[in-house]
Every structure is written in C-alpha cells, then in structure tokens.
Chain A
Amino acid sequence: MMDVFANIGLGLSVAATFQNLAYCMLGTLLGTIVGVLPGIGPVTTVAMLLPISFTLEPTSALIMMAGIYYGAQYGGSTTAILINIPGEPSSVVTSLDGYQMARQGRAGPALGIAALGSFFAGCVATFVIAFGAPPLAKLALQFGPAEYFSLMLCGLVAAIVLARGSVIKAIAMVVLGLIFGLAGSDVNSGIRRFTFGFQGLADGIEFVALSMAIYGVSEVAINLEKKDEEVGVVSTVGSVWPSFADIRYCMPSILRGTALGSVLGVLPGGGALLAAFSAYTLEKKVAKHPRRFGEGDIRGVAAPESANNAGAQTSFIPMLTLGIPSNPTMALMIGALMVHGITPGPRVLIDRPDLFWGVVASMWIGNLMLVVLNLPMVGIWVRLLRMPYRMMFPAIVGFCCVGTYTINGNVTDIAVMAFFTIFGYLCLKLDCEPAPLILGFVLGPMMEENLRRALLISRGDPTIFVNAPISLTFLVAAALLLLIVAAPAIRARREEALAE
C-alpha cells in the first residue's frame, strides 16, 4: 500500500518537471484536436508523431503519446454532442443522447458531465494501473516461453472475439497479420523470408509504413467517397456546469461506466471504443425507463464518456507490464519504446520505474489539464471543425509519407506503404477489420520465437503448453472466449431456421 504511494510520488516528481508537463500538455492538446477533426484518429496521429518521439527522451515521448490517446477521447465527445459528428469512433454512442441534449438547449451540461465523468474515470483508472500493474508484472516475470505463447494466443483470440463483424474474417486477418510480421531475416537461421529479393525488406515490413497506409491513406480514400454530411449548428453552449441534481442522477452511471471501461480496456482488442459501446448498452439494460435513451438522457452521455476514458487508460496495463499491445495505438507505442532500446515487458517496472510511474502520473495530470483547458475552449474546437476536409486530407497524406520515410530513410518503406494503401482500402471495402491484422503483425515474430523456444525446451513435445498451469489457464480462457462467440451465432441461426 505504502509502496504504491511512494511510487506515485516518484511518478509525480518525474511528470511534474517543466519539460514533461509541456509534452503532456502538447499531447493532450494535439489529442483534442485530432479528436475533434473527423477523418483523423489517434493511431494516425501517433504514427505521424513517431519521428518526433525519436528525438525526445523515452519518458517524455510516451507521456506525449499517451496524452494524444486519451485527449482524443475528450475531443471526440465535444463534436459528438455539439453537432452530432463524432470525431472518434468511440464517441459515436455519445452523440445519440448528447446531440439530443444539445438540441434541447442542454449542450452545456452534456459537455460538463462528459468532462467530469471522464476526469473521474481517468483518476480511477490511474489508480487501477498503479495497483494492478505491479502484481501483474511480478507474475509475468515468472513466465517462460510456453506461458508467453499461450498468453499471446489468448490475446489474439480476445481480439477476434471483440472485433466487429464476421469472426472468420477476423481470424483470417489475425493470421495474415502474423504472416506479414514474419517477413524479414529469421533470427535463428538468418534466412530472409518473404523478402522476394528486395534488399529493403531484410528488416521486415516497417510497422509505421503499414499503419500509416491503413489508418492514414486508405482511410482518406474511403472518406473521400462519402458524401458531405449536413453539419448542424448549435449556437449556445451556456454554462458547462451540470446541476447538482444532474451529477447525482449520473453518479451510478459514471461508476458503472468507469468499472466496465477499466476492465474492457485491459483486454486485447478492447480499449476505448468497445468500452463506450458496452457502457451504453449496460445503461440501457439497468435503467428503469430505457425508452428515454436516445432522447437526451444525460446518463447516456455520462456512462460511455467515463467508460471510454477509463478504457483508454487501462489499455496501457498489458502494454507496460506484458509487452503485449491491446490495440493499434499501443502497438505504435511499443514501437516507439523499442527505438529507444526499451523492450516493453515486466522488466520495465524494475529497470525503469521512473518511466513507468512518470507515465502513470502524467495521465492524472493530463486529465486535469483536459478539464481545465478544454471546457473554456469549446468554441475554438467547434470552429476547427468547420475546416473543410479538402484542406485536411492532402496534409494527412503528405505527413504520412514524410513520417514513414524519416523512420529509416528507406524508399522501400514508401513502396510498402503504397502496397498497403491498396490492401487497406480493399479490406475496408470488404468489411475486414484492420485492428486484428495489426495485433497479429506485432505479435507474429514474438509468437514464433516463444513457440520455438518452448518446443526446444520440451524437445518437440507439444504437451508443454498444457502441463504448465499458467499456460493451461490462458488456453482454457481462449477456448472459453471462442465458445462464447460461437454460441450466439449458433443460437441466432437456430432462431432463423425456426422462423422459417
């Protein structure tokens, strides 16, 4: 117990230096801006800023990137409430009740409760990380290759289960991601795999090129096909402070949203988006008058906003303690840390406590900054939204190109980017979610390495995965998850058959 407070103290001393405060603020501001602007999300922004992070100290780099991620959750809700355009996918549910509130002249309280709920959730999530991460890291230190392999398998299964749309497509995307991840020199044999004779592919497919192509350029191509949507305008915001009655009415929703978001954020494939959707569904289920949802119920704003912020923050837990990303943004942060020679995993907590606790403490400071800075600046954010997309997308494409090139100064990376632009576009058109692919891509080499080592230890005996208790637990969890996802599908099909 005392340890935690001593550690938070250490974290605060790191996070509160002038330099880190400045990067924290820069990150949250940038995050809010990308959250407000539709068509550009945290993944693209973090990817575009990756070259900048190389010149920073790793702690400052991570503080800034974290700020972008949770800042985007705030920004997205602002536009969702005021003009019914969610800047971020995780704010889609907020617009359901938030925009209705704005039309009824209650935009102020909606914005206020979103900010307060997020702040509360952010504080709780910071403590969840502070208390939850160290024991998890301690446990992870005992993991051998078999445990790691099973853990990653379990993580990938979770990502599949949580992906939207077809399960088979999600599994196929994970497998394809794993294959893409294997390209380049094989560590053990030195053989170059899947390079097709290209010298530039010897180090594998550059992750930044892949993510910039899919989340940057392909997204732009898809966005340009959409017809311009009508932008509604809300003239008055009024006082952003919700009444005491509002707060009391929302408190249970905020608590439920925070709890749900904290749990879902940790799961691979989870994070802010899933947290927000689930929280809204839960509220509708527990409410006495569920009909009010969708017509401007303030609880419909409070719960998902708390949940997405909590989820955004707790998704740092698996990244920092196990080295396993739960979503594409976290995968990019792993990439950034690797460039600085830090391998995310249980050792980070022991070797670099300043980094770990500094980042955790900065999240709390960042959340405070967001409340203090953002509410008064709502007017500026709305004006920013009026910027036409035709002025934004050439900038996105240009910065993606420059960003990718600066990683290695390698033209092959640009060619890779062109290839994955077309690939990403096809995937989006065919309803194949890119997130499972990205996770597979990052985990591919690690999974092969751990599978290889585990089988080396057991002399080729595959029962090693079932004999180790921790490994078995992960495998059982993976199997259960698959069963859960299979069950409703079976049920739905049976119902269809019965209806006929």
Chain B
Amino acid sequence: MHIRAPKDFWSGLMFLAFAAVTLVTSSGYSMGRGGRMGPGYFPTLLGAVLVLLGLILVVRSLATEGEAIQRIEMRPLSILTLCVILFGVMIQPLGLVIALTVTTFIAAFAGPDVRLKEAALLSTGLTLIATIIFVFALRLPLPIWPNL
C-alpha cells in the first residue's frame, strides 16, 4: 500500500478518529425513536456520516495522487500552545499582570529571531495596555495581582 495523497490520507484519519470518539461516546446516550429523538440520535447520525467521509478520503488517497504535506515546524506551534496553557494555569492564582507578562514574553520565542530586550519591553507594554483597557476602562472582573 502506498499513500499517494498524504494530505487527504491524514485528514481522513483525523476525521475517522473524531468519528470514533463521537460514536463511542454517544453510544452511552439514549437514541429515542424517530418521533421523540433521544440525545444520542443526532450525534450518532453525524458520527456515521463522518466515518463514511473519512473512509472516502483514506481510500481515495491511496488511489489518486495528491499534494504532500508541507514541513511541520514544531517550534512555533509548541511554544504558542505552551503559552496558552501557561496563561490558563497562571491567571487565577497569579493575576493578569504576571500571567500576561509571562505569556507574551515566552510567545516571542516562537518567532525566528528573538531579541530579549525588545521582547521584555513589548510584554511589559502590552500588559500595561491590556490592564488599562480591560480592568480600568471596561471594568471586567479580572484578578490583577496574585491572590494571596
């Protein structure tokens, strides 16, 4: 077996994976009858359609030529995802100022050229602006400082 269209093949697998999770999870919900649809009816229907579509993509990717996947660079994606997670971990215990400064500073490392001084200045400035806009101007209920 030879994969001729990698983009189609892998997206097909991705859809199949989501379909499997959907079908397994919704098997726990009652299906109901046509006139009284249960909570499992619509998701099961959608899951089945998604299986079909995923299979078509996978089978077709073995039969017809398609584009190759461009190189996946792990650095930007992993650093940015880490930033989002860090923000989530820090926002409630440490407050907006610390969470945002750290997040934006680390985010700068996702780029090809990092300039430490510039990144530090930028994250400080951004945090200042964000605090003024969100907390003082809009009065959104955000913790500013660590919750001791």
Contacts and interface: CB of A to CB of B under 8 A. Distances in A.
Nearest to A170: B53
B64 to A, nearest CB: 9
A182 interface: yes
B14 A217 contact: no
Contacts of B76: 220-221, 224-225
B70 interface: yes
Given A179-B50, A411-B91, A414-B91, A395 B104 contact: yes
B7 interface: yes
Interface in A391-415: 391, 393-395, 397-402, 405-406, 409, 411, 414-415
A398 B38 contact: no
A172 B141 contact: no
B130 A409 contact: no
B1 interface: no
A231 interface: no
Contacts of B39: 186, 188-189, 191, 193
B111 A402 contact: no
Contact of A430 (B14, B25, B56): B14
Contacts of B100: 398, 401-402
A400 B100 CA distance: 11
A448 interface: yes
B111 to A, nearest CB: 5
Nearest to A430: B11
Contacts of A414: 84-85, 87-88, 91
Given A414-B91, A418-B88, A406 B140 contact: yes
A374 interface: no
Interface residues of B, number: 75
A228 B101 CA distance: 27
A432 B11 contact: yes
B99 to A, nearest CB: 8
Given A401-B84, A414-B84, A175 B77 contact: no
Contacts of B112: 224, 390
B104 A397 contact: yes
Contacts of B49: 175
Contacts of B35: 455-456, 458-461
B88 A411 contact: yes
Contacts of A188: 39
Interface string A413-457: 011011001100111011110000000000000011001100110
A59 B15 CA distance: 40
Contacts of A461: 34-35
B138 A55 contact: yes
Given A394-B107, A431-B67, A418 B85 contact: yes
A429 B72 contact: yes
Given A175-B49, A217-B84, A169 B111 contact: no
A406 B134 CA distance: 9
Given A397-B103, A456-B35, A176 B18 contact: yes
B81 A172 contact: no
B53 A171 contact: yes
Interface in A161-197: 166, 168-169, 171-172, 175-176, 178-179, 182, 186, 188-189, 191, 193-194, 196
Contacts of A58: none
Given A172-B15, A431-B7, A462-B34, A409 B80 contact: no
Contacts of A417: 84, 88
Interface in B83-115: 83-85, 87-88, 91-92, 96, 99-100, 103-105, 107-108, 110-115
Contact of A193 (B15, B43, B92, B141): B43
A427 B73 CA distance: 15
Interface in B38-88: 38-39, 42-43, 46-47, 49-50, 53-54, 56-57, 60, 67, 69-73, 76-77, 80-81, 83-85, 87-88
B105 to A, nearest CB: 8
Interface string A43-56: 00000000110110
Q: Give the interface centre of B35, B84, B110 by most chain A CB atoms within 10 Å.
A: B84
Contact of A405 (B111, B127, B142): B142
Contacts of B46: 175, 178-179, 182
Interface string A330-367: 00000000000000000000000000000000000000
B38 to A, nearest CB: 7
Contact of A455 (B18, B37, B127): B37
Given A224-B112, A429-B70, A448-B42, A175 B53 contact: yes
A402 B101 CA distance: 12
A224 B81 CA distance: 14
Contacts of B140: 51, 54-55, 406
Contacts of A455: 34-35, 37
Contacts of B110: 220-221, 224, 393
B70 to A, nearest CB: 7
Contact of B11 (A394, A431, A451): A431
A456 B29 CA distance: 19
Given A217-B84, A220-B76, A221-B76, A394 B34 contact: no
B35 to A, nearest CB: 3
A431 B100 CA distance: 32
Given A406-B134, A417-B84, A455-B35, A395 B122 contact: yes
Please provide the 5 A-B residue pairs with the shortest distance between their CB atoms, ordered closest to farther: A460-B34, A460-B35, A414-B88, A224-B76, A394-B107
Given A401-B99, A429-B69, A430-B69, 10 more contacts: A51-B134, A52-B138, A175-B46, A189-B29, A189-B38, A390-B111, A390-B115, A391-B122, A402-B142, A460-B33
18 contacts: A55-B139, A166-B8, A171-B53, A178-B46, A179-B50, A182-B42, A191-B29, A221-B76, A399-B130, A402-B134, A406-B134, A406-B140, A414-B85, A418-B81, A421-B77, A422-B77, A430-B69, A451-B42
